[in-house]
Amino acid sequence: MGIKKNQAIVLGLVLVVIASVTALLSWSRDDRNIVRELQEEPTLTVYVNETGQIQEMPLEEYIQGVVAGEMFPDWPVNAYAAQAIFARSFTMDFLASGGVKDKYGADVSTSIQETQAFNPDAVTEEIKKGVEMTRGEVMTYDNRFVRGWFHAYSGGITAQAKEGLDYQDEEPPFTKSVKLGENDYVPDDVKEWTAEYNAEELRGMLAQTGLNVGEITGVEIAEKGPSGRVTSFLVRGSQGEDTISGPAFRLAVDSTKMKSTLVQDLRFEGGTLSITGTGYGHGVGLSQWDAFKLAKEGKSPEEIVETFFPDIEIRTIYQ
């Protein structure tokens, strides 16, 4: 495929942060994110975290940098174009909520913890083409911008927000669990992975979440969601037992090791926890490796987007 294994690791690191940030942002039905047609392309103010400067740029130029920061080089153009729709929708919804005006006096920043990955140095002609193909296109639901969650690989089935992200608000009406089937393009270490932890290491990691049951003597799957992802773990120890949500457990134990909550096997033997699973990321919304596959199959950007969010409407808000 011409895609190196360490690129999957880098993408995973990006998605870990996104998962921990976007899970806190609820989809709003208030009037701030109502979709309106614009007479011209918006100009953004971008706070560059590395320099402390504020730059102005057209929205489409910003989206190019985001797509370059979120996807690998040498991917199909239609996959870039689908990611552009997600990034543009996220940005418009983010702007409607006030952006980072209070913090920096700007619309967005280049920090992945605050907005989206942004790497203008990695923009290629293919990325430019993909962004231009979907110029002005955004996802909407009920005439409001859709918060476009995405992840690296679904493991064959996506999840709704409550299952995949431990989402605390009402389930957004546009999220769906979608079966996607086999994907031969996925790297082996993403399609199947194993993570191991000794009991003392695990105790320290989980203590950071406030879970403390003493010396850990066992870990079990307490509950799974509709897509098969673990939504709750039971942890036993010398001082009792406690439960922790699947997404919170994964983040606590290093989500670049435990790449997904789509767990196929879990064993606690001889003081060691071993977890085997598939997928990478929280599993909600667009799966990037499945977008890669769909693009290879000739699907349009809009068809790719609607595969993951079938009930949304894609609208062009400026030319």
The DSSP secondary structure of 278-296, one letter per residue, reads --BS--BSEEHHHHHHHHH
Q: Please provide residue 142's backbone torsions phi and psi, each rounded to the nearest 5 degrees.
A: 55, 40
256 within some domain: yes
Q: How many structural domains is the chain composed of?
A: 2
Q: Which two tokens stand for residue 90?
A: 């996220």
pLDDT tens-digit readout, 206-252:
999 999 999 999 999 999 999 999 999 999 999 999 999 999 999 99
In this structure, are 14 and 44 located in the same domain? yes
What are 315's strand-pairing partners? 138
Examine the domain organization and report whether 104 and 250 are in the same domain: no
Does one domain contain both 203 and 271? yes
Output the pTM of the full model: 0.87
Q: Which residues pair with 304 in a beta bridge?
A: none
Indicate whether 164 and 116 sit together in one domain: yes
Q: Report percent pLDDT > 70 for the chain.
A: 91
- CA distances 10 to 15, 16, 69, 71, Å, are 9, 10, 10, 10
Instruction: Specify whether 77 is located in the same domain as 171.
Output: yes
Q: ∠ CA 196-198-200 to the nearest 5 degrees?
A: 145
Q: Which domain holds residue 202?
A: 193-277
Query: Whole-number mean pLDDT of the chain?
Result: 91
Residue 12 has pLDDT above 70, yes or no: no
Say which residue, 205 or 22, is predicted with more confidence: 205
> Would residue 100 count as lying in a domain?
yes
- Determine, yes or no, domain membership for 244: yes
256 and 298 housed in the same domain? no
**What's residue 4's pLDDT?**
36
Phi/psi at 207 (nearest 5 deg)? Answer: -60, -30
> Do 161 and 245 belong together in one domain?
no
Same structural domain for residues 300 and 241?
no
Q: Binning pLDDT at 50, 70 and 90, where does residue 1 land?
A: very low
Structure tokens at 87: 């990034």
Q: 189, 148, 138: which is closest to 172 by C-alpha?
A: 148
Residue 188 lies in a domain: no
Q: How far apart are CA 74 and CA 164, in angstroms?
A: 29
Q: Does a structural domain hold residue 187?
A: no
pLDDT band at 113 (very low <50, low <70, confident <90, very high): confident
Query: Does residue 64 belong to any structural domain of this protein?
Result: yes
| DSSP class of 80 | H
| pLDDT, average across residues 128-141 | 98
| Together in a domain, 267 and 290 | no
pLDDT band at residue 10 under the 50/70/90 scheme: very low
What is the reported pLDDT for 154?
A: 98
Answer yes or no: do 132 and 268 share one domain.
no
The answer to whether position 211 is within a domain reads: yes
Asked if 230 and 263 count as a contact pair (C-beta separation under 8 A), the reply is yes
DSSP states of 298-310 as a string? T--HHHHHHHHST
Question: For the segment 263-294, what is each residue's pLDDT rounded down to a tens digit?
Answer: 999 999 999 999 999 999 999 999 999 999 99
- 258 and 178 in a common domain: no
Mean pLDDT, rounded, for 85-96: 94
| Residue 287 near residue 186, CB atoms below 8 Å | no
Please count the helices (runs of H) and the strands (runs of E) in the chain: 11, 14
| 21 and 159 together in one domain | yes
